[in-house]
Structure 1
Amino acid sequence: MKIAIIGAGPAGMMCAIKASENHEVTLFEKNEKLGKKLFITGKGRCNLTNYSTEEEFLFNVIRNKRFMYSSIYSFSPFTTYFYFEEEGLKLKVERGNRVFPQSDRSSDVIKTYNKILIKNNVEIKLNTEIKSIKRKDDKFILNNSLEFDKVVIATGGISYPVTGSTGDGHKFAKEFGHKIIKLKPGLNGILLKNEFNLAGLSLKNVELKVLKNNKIISSEFGEMLFTHRGISGPIVLTTTSKINREKEFKLYLDLKPALSNEKLDERILRDFEKYKNKDIDNALVDLLPKDLINYVLYDAKINLTKKVNQISKEERESLVSSIKNFELDFHDLDSIDRAIITSGGVDVKEINPSTMESKLVEGLYFIGEVLDVDALTGGFNIQIANSTGFICGTNL
Structure 2
Amino acid sequence: MINPSNKAGVIVIGGGAAGLIAAGRAAELGAQVTLLERMEAPGKKLLITGKGRCNITNTAPLKEFLTAFGPNGRFLHGAFHRFFRDELLELFRQKGVETENERGGRVFPVSDNAADVVNALVSYGESHGVEIRPNSRVITIERDCDAVTGVRLESCEIIPAGAVILAAGGASYPATGSAGDGFNLAEALGHKINPLYPGLVPLVLKEISFAIACQGVALKNIRLTAFGCDKGSIPKMTIEHDYGRGTGYEKPAKPIIESRFGEMLFTHFGIGGPITLLMSQAVARALDSGPVSISIDLKPALSNKELDARLQREFAASPKRQLPAILRELLPEKMVEVMAGMSGIPLGRTASNFTVEDRRALVSLLKNLTFEVRSTLPLGAAMVTAGGVELSEVDPKTMASKLVPGLYLAGEVLDLDADTGGYNLQAAFSTGWVAGESAAKFLGAREPKTS
Please name the residue that 1:20 is paired with: 27
**Distance in 2 (alpha carbons) for counterparts of 1:77 and 1:249:** 37
Answer yes or no: is the 8 Å Cα contact 1:207–1:222 preserved in 2: yes
1:131 deviates by 2.0
Alignment of 1:1-396 (within 5 A): 2-22=9-29, 23-62=31-70, 64-136=72-144, 138-143=147-152, 144-194=157-207, 195-196=209-210, 197-212=213-228, 214=235, 215=254, 216-247=256-287, 248-396=291-439
Answer yes or no: is the 8 Å Cα contact 2:10–2:163 preserved in 1: yes
Answer yes or no: is the 8 Å Cα contact 2:148–2:407 preserved in 1: no
Q: After alignment, is 202-211 or 99-108 more displaced? A: 202-211
**Distance in 2 (alpha carbons) for counterparts of 1:304 and 1:331:** 31
Q: After alignment, is 228-237 or 25-34 more displaced? A: 25-34
Letter in 1 for 2:372: D
Structure 1-normalised TM-score? 0.96
**Distance in 2 (alpha carbons) for counterparts of 1:62 and 1:154:** 22
Answer yes or no: is the 8 Å Cα contact 2:222–2:298 preserved in 1: yes
Structure 2-normalised TM-score? 0.84
Answer yes or no: is the 8 Å Cα contact 2:322–2:349 preserved in 1: yes
**Distance in 1 (alpha carbons) for counterparts of 2:71 and 2:15:** 23
Q: Report % sequence identity.
A: 41
Higher percent of residues as strand: 1
1:107 deviates by 0.5
5+ long unaligned stretches in structure 2: 1-7, 230-234, 236-253, 440-451
SS of structure 2 residue aligned to 1:374: coil
SS of structure 2 residue aligned to 1:27: strand
**Distance in 2 (alpha carbons) for counterparts of 1:349 and 1:386:** 20
**Distance in 1 (alpha carbons) for counterparts of 2:397 and 2:173:** 29
SS of structure 2 residue aligned to 1:132: strand
5+ long unaligned stretches in structure 1: none
1:290 deviates by 1.9
Letter in 1 for 2:115: S
Please name the residue that 2:244 is paired with: none
**Distance in 2 (alpha carbons) for counterparts of 1:154 and 1:322:** 48
Answer yes or no: is the 8 Å Cα contact 2:79–2:430 preserved in 1: yes
**Distance in 2 (alpha carbons) for counterparts of 1:62 and 1:39:** 27
CA-based RMSD: 1.6
1:301 deviates by 2.8
Alignment length (residue pairs): 396
Q: Tell me the alpha carbon deviations over residues 130-163 of structure 1, each in whole angstroms, 9 at most, x when there is no partner.
A: 1222213645232252100111111111111100
Letter in 2 for 1:207: R
**Distance in 2 (alpha carbons) for counterparts of 1:208 and 1:78:** 35
